[in-house]
Structure 1
């Protein structure tokens, strides 16, 4: 039995029914002509509250559960230049006391009703999630309201979460993959918010004040930059007024600092940070495409053939299967709000680091220059179409997908159109997008370890050995 089949069988019967229904529903969209009766978007409803707050809803009574995902545009990129880590710390504290509830009371209120409320920050947004039984939806929504409109940032909670963040930074100081990622971003985006460590540094996190946290929340958590997705046992009639109750007291407009568009710097270089470990971890990347680029789907298919598949990509075959250089190797498109990237990574023995760098460069250029075969393209499209349903095998995943589609402004019918877009990608499309990548084909490599054989790769030492001065 496969891991997927085993996990599916282990589900509660009602959960299996929901998962099977979602997979079957998406498969219908994938394999058959779309009709009003079959269309998944007939289940996605745009709900607008009396106060004008919009959410996307999938009303599903299969299980007595409600899942909500929210996002406020403006994450770590809004950190003050001298204080990276503010967004990360602030997001971690939103469920650590709000309104009349201190941290213990807030956590007890969630535990009493089996409610989950959680927040985190990424480069471009602050995200929140809520999970609750439908019978507890009112207290769950009240906790969400308090968290986003009245966070306390009490001294005890701030210090406790701060110390946890500092402990993570110390731990990551000796994690080669984390250090490689941090070094890549710092080299690629000097003097830009994307170059700062999202979790801050051992110097910046202790300097973050309660005023910094409260100011970030006040400027960033607003109605005009809020996206909401809800899936589960709640009707549109009930959700509309609840949206106003949860989010109506937020400021009408966020006060975001403009973030300039940027392209990665240092392309073609190999940056090295020395760490006494037996393997070299590496992150590589270059110029990609933003999500709103018309060629994004062809580029997505192209990347799948490069390193997007765990077992059939060119990098997997060449780096792992043929030469045994690494256990895993991957690449993916990383469309940030202000930069389009293609990124990847792997880890290999120190003595084979130079060989691995050269091989990744060669395979990338070979795909861009020669392109794939018809069979390779057909296989990639078949996998991407067939696996799409796995993104919808739980209510939480559905909510997450609906939220991302809103953030990317892809349209409420995107789930219906997505597989058709993939299926329509032709060799000519791949050649066109490969030509665009060939305009700026150089990759920046960031290596952490004791790599050997890099003379021909043009390696340059980074600013000192890998240290705990930055976090991820």
Structure 2
């Protein structure tokens, strides 16, 4: 326990060099496995982040929650080690291992003290190449997931997100249940878990980032030991591209809550769109800049309608959205949404001012080094850059790209994206639906089906 606590404190508290001072090295193992490495000898912690293409969107429609269940089971026994023994071995080497399933990717994380590195990497290899999926562990994790799914049905944030996704994306895999449904979870058998691992964990769909006191030569050996036994090619289904339905619906899921949760959204931009960086800056001014944003100023500061309101860009591999969320009194929902629409329309018509652009650039460039303050945060950033195919020099180029954004760029992107008449809105609560509320009459609203588990925007 003492060694594990020391490991956690080291990862959290040790500052790292600024982003611009990092040297990111592309390492290719003797067996042809590639990883990005930041060698940092002064901090005795090695962090590895891994992602495989093939997340929850690849779940069979009748077995949604499969990828999520696999993520909860990989450290519950592998090889000749049952669950308790596997966890004991992790504790013995003071290592932390975790897995998660997102819409497009399945990710794994390993943190270990440098002097126990080889043993920790061997355990990670065992988890992904020889998972046991023992009956006791499967049923225990299944019960935990069923509890989470049941609890989600009482969460207004979760219900609103699911109503939004269902209307925006229809029957696309992104709108299905990330964590599963009461009907799908019992259908997932051990053979399904084994099949997922065999299809997804391969070498051709894998990205790896490593940070810590390890040389390129040492990492090459570790990569082959850890991943060399994986199949060469993955077998994952193709996911179709989809755009957000542009019909401007307002959906209400009536629940007896003291205030309403509102999620609103529009079609966004893919990460490789040339306008993405201008859109990123634009969103900061609109609703992404916390207390600096227009929406926060108009909704909270001037009118006190909500404690907070925010917007963000959410690009996936096959869809892209601009999301916003706000919680407000039931009787003020219509007024709040009217302000959101007004501010979107104003930005689409007028763009932003020179001072707003300067302030946005100052914050977005100045805060970037804060994403590189520990081995873990650096590894996460390196993995994300690889997944988005931004290039190994992106850290060096990123701030210059933001500085190059002009008012004309913002005006162009705002006209392209901010179309309040197309905005899809999901409301959970008991909003005022009177003729003076600013919301559509009840009969004009999209019918809200019973809430079902699905993906929250991340």
Pairwise TM-score range, normalised by the shorter structure: over 0.9
Residue of structure 2 equivalent to 1:173 = 153
Q: Give the Å deviation of 1:82.
A: 1.6
1:199 to 157, 179, 198: 179
Residue in structure 2 matching 1:280, options 233, 240, 260:
260
Give the equivalent residue in structure 1 for 2:378: 398
Distance 1:141 1:441, change over 3 A: farther
8 Å CA contact 2:344, 2:419 repeated in 1: no
Q: Is 2:114 the counterpart of 1:134? A: yes
Of 434, 439, 447, which residue of structure 2 is paired with 1:462? 447
Count of equivalent residues:
444
Q: For the residues of structure 2 that align with 1:96 and 1:370, how far apart are their CA atoms? A: 56
User: Which among 246, 258, 261 is matched to residue 238 of structure 2?
Assistant: 258
Q: Which residue does the alignment assign to 1:3?
A: none
1:355 touches 1:453 (CA, 8 Å); kept in 2? no
Q: Once the 2 structures are TM-superposed, how far is the Cα of residue 438 of structure 1 from its aligned partner?
A: 4.7
Aligned counterpart for 2:358 among listed residues 370, 378, 382? 378
Contact 2:341/2:420 (8 A) holds in 1:
no
Question: Which residue number in structure 2 is paired with residue 435 of structure 1?
Answer: 415
**Structure 2 unaligned spans of 5+:** 1-7
- Counterpart selection for 1:216 from 196, 209, 218: 196
- Counterpart CA distance in 1 for 2:253 and 2:446 is 6
**Which residue of the partner structure matches residue 208 of structure 2?**
228
SS class of match (1:411): coil
Whether contact under 8 Å (2:174, 2:455) holds in the other structure is no
TM-score normalised over the length of structure 1: 0.91
Unaligned stretches of 5+ residues in structure 1: 1-10, 30-38
Cα RMSD for the two superposed structures: 1.8
- Separation in structure 1 between the aligned mates of residue 10 and residue 193 of structure 2, nearest angstrom: 44
13 and 83 in structure 1: CA distance in 2 versus 1, 3 angstrom threshold: closer
1:417–1:451 distance in 2 versus 1, CA, 3 Å: same
Post-superposition Cα deviations, 1:410-458, rounded to whole Å, max 9, x if no partner, equal 1111001000000110111112212321578621111111111475433
Distance 1:453 1:366, change over 3 A: farther
Alignment partners' CA distance in 2, 1:279 and 1:334: 26
TM-score, scaled to structure 2:
0.93
C-alpha distance in 1, partners of 2:398/2:220? 28
Aligned partner of 1:331 among 311, 332, 349: 311
CA–CA separation in structure 2 for the residues paired with 1:141 and 1:85: 27
Deviation at 1:15, TM superposition (A): 6.9
Structure 2 equivalent of residue 106 of structure 1: 86
Matched, 1:351 2:331: yes
